[in-house]
């Protein structure tokens, strides 16, 4: 379209779930199916994300999708590895992802990180479906490669069908326990009121056509207005990870959710102390697999348009934070953009009290989620920061008046050696976990014990 006019951008889909439940395998399957359909080139691998255009989705989905029903360009899937908290997927005013897939292993059912994911989807009001994965592992399953799930279910023996239904309704029951009304996706009329459950196998591809169809429908039905962005405007994104990269120094992996970023843009990035103003040195995309043996794993590009995952190399990024905003300056006063970044950071800032526990977390998003959970549990916070547990945190915790506040809650971060030593010599207690509600529960139990 004309520069400056609004265009529909690609919806961002977060793929979430407990460790090993099959998030990456599902995306691998989508990529693999595209290769089989002769559309390999059409799928682009981004940093931390996979872009699947509409025509590829419709090829994979077959009769389930009529591409003329849609005017969104496709879907951008963001994989969240189990060790990495997807609370990082935040943006101004809420969730970075427009919609989500919650992957649940049918045999394993709900696990701590499934519940954690559900809590955050609820809090950020992100529409989602549940992919009930690994149906092929049910004893006696007879695989029908890449088939729509109902077609495949019909060919299964009565016993297998019964077993599957039992597992699926257990998932529906779990969802209901957590306040979501859910049903098999083909029974769902209104995906905003009901969560659709899609049985799939990332191994055999069964149900993958259905999953893509449902996601496309969700995006189209409920997200269209938010997809209207000025794709030619200055880029806005979120930092997912801050990483050392050989030959480039400290880089940031970002998801761009609005506008464009160019290889010569001035950018402002949220930093530990102040917004960082710097100039892009390179925009990097992963090279296609076949070329991975070449000198660099990355390919430089001149410009990227939302939605996209991209690695940004620039000087002075050492203090950049995961979960922080990144904004392109372009044709505006730098101070104005700095103010925007500051105010966005202020929105995330955790309110602290005179007396309370110390909280450390791996990203701004997880810190925000921790603060919310603690507020709900009426646990006051004296200090909340992104980063590893350091000796200074131990000092702060040890000066608390109440014994129950001589505590550090560490979410998904290391405890530095010298901090560990200080803790052993003091009466400060540390709770560590990569599941927020478990941290809160453990702390609550500890308080009960002390007060008994
Ligand atoms: P993390 O990134 O570590 O959180 O795990 P993940 O959710 O990405 O799981 P991943 O895709 O790595 O799969 C974990 C294991 O389950 C692997 O050994 C997969 O091969 C296997 N797996 C995933 N999906 C399926 C499936 O549908 N069927 C079967 N049989 N195995 C599967
Ligand atoms: Mg994975």
Q: Residue 171 and residue 152: Cα distance in Å, rounded?
A: 20
Q: What pLDDT was estimated at residue 1?
A: 36
Whole-angstrom CA distances from 65 to 59, 260, 331 are 8, 30, 42
Among candidate residues 90, 99, 96, the one with its CA nearest the CA of residue 15: 99
Q: What pLDDT does residue 292 have?
A: 43
Pocket of ligand 1 (CB under 6 A): 17, 19-25, 81-82, 133-134, 136-137, 201-203
Looking at residue 41, its pLDDT comes to 60
Q: Report the Cα 108 to chain-centroid distance in Å.
A: 22
Q: Are 378 and 353 in contact (CB under 8 A)?
A: no
DSSP secondary structure of 40-51: GGGSEEETTEEE
What pLDDT score does 290 carry? Answer: 45
Distance 431 CA to ligand 1 centre (A): 29
In this structure, which ligand is nearest to the CA of 136?
Answer: 1
Peptide bond before residue 307 is cis, with ω within 30 degrees of 0 = yes
Question: Among candidates 319, 331, 211, which has minimal Cα distance to 270?
Answer: 319
Q: How far apart are CA 33 and CA 209, in angstroms?
A: 10
Beta-carbon neighbours within 5 Å of ion ligand 2: 23-24, 81
Q: Do 432 and 415 contact (CB within 8 A), yes or no?
A: yes
Which of 22, 30, 113, 146 to mutate to test ligand 1, by most ligand atoms within 8 A of the CB atom? Answer: 22
Q: What residues in the chain have per-residue pLDDT under 50? A: 1-4, 290-293
Tokens encoding 412: 């998904």
Ligand 1 midpoint to CA 135 (Å)? 12
State residue 196's pLDDT score.
97
Atom of ligand 1 nearest to the CA of 134: 27
CB 48 within 8 A of CB 253: yes
What are 39-50's pLDDT values in tens digits?
656 677 788 888
- Hey, what's the torsion of the CAs at 310, 316, 318, 320, to 10 degrees? -60
**Three-class SS state of 190:** coil
Residue 73 DSSP SS3: coil
ipTM: 0.99
């Amino acid at each position: 379209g004309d520069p400056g006019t609004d265009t529909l951008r690609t919806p961002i889909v977060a793929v979430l779930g407990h460790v090993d439940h099959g998030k990456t395998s599902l995306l691998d399957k989508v990529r693999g199916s595209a290769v089989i359909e002769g559309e390999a080139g059409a799928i682009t691998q981004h940093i931390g994300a996979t872009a699947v255009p509409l025509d590829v989705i419709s090829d994979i989905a077959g009769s389930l999708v009529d591409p003329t029903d849609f005017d969104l360009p496709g879907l951008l899937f963001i994989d969240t590895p189990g060790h990495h908290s997807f609370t990082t997927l935040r943006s101004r005013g809420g969730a970075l992802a427009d919609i989500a897939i919650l992957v649940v292993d049918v045999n394993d059912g709900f696990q701590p990180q499934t519940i954690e994911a559900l809590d955050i989807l609820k809090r950020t009001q992100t529409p989602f479906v549940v992919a009930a994965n690994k149906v092929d592992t049910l004893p006696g399953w007879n695989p029908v490669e890449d088939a729509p799930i109902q077609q495949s279910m019909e060919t299964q023996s009565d016993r297998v069908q019964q077993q599957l239904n039992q597992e699926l309704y257990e998932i529906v029951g779990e969802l209901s326990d957590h306040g979501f009304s859910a049903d098999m996706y083909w029974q769902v009329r209104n995906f905003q009121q009901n969560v659709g459950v899609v049985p799939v196998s990332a191994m055999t591809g069964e149900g993958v056509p259905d999953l893509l169809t449902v996601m496309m429908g969700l995006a189209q039905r409920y997200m269209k207005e938010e997809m209207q962005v000025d794709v030619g405007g200055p880029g806005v994104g979120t930092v997912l990870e801050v990483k050392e990269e050989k030959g480039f120094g400290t880089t940031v992996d970002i998801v761009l959710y609005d506008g464009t970023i160019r290889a010569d843009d001035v950018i402002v990035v949220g930093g530990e102390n102040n917004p960082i103003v710097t100039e892009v040195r390179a925009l990097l995309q992963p090279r296609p697999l076949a070329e991975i043996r070449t000198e660099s794993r990355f390919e430089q590009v001149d410009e990227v348009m939302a939605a996209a995952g991209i690695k940004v190399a620039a000087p002075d990024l050492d203090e950049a934070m995961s979960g922080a905003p990144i904004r392109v300056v372009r044709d505006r006063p730098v101070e104005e953009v700095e103010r925007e970044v500051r105010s966005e950071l202020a929105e995330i800032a955790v309110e602290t009290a005179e007396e309370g526990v110390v909280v450390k977390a791996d990203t701004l998003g997880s810190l925000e989620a921790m603060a919310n959970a603690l507020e709900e549990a009426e646990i006051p916070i004296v200090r909340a920061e992104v980063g590893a547990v350091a000796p200074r945190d131990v000092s702060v915790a040890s000066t608390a008046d109440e014994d129950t506040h001589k505590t550090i809650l560490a979410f998904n971060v290391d405890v530095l050696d010298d901090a560990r030593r200080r803790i052993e010599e003091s009466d400060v207690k540390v709770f560590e976990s990569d599941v927020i509600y478990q941290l809160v529960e453990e702390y609550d139990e500890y308080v009960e014990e002390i007060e008994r």
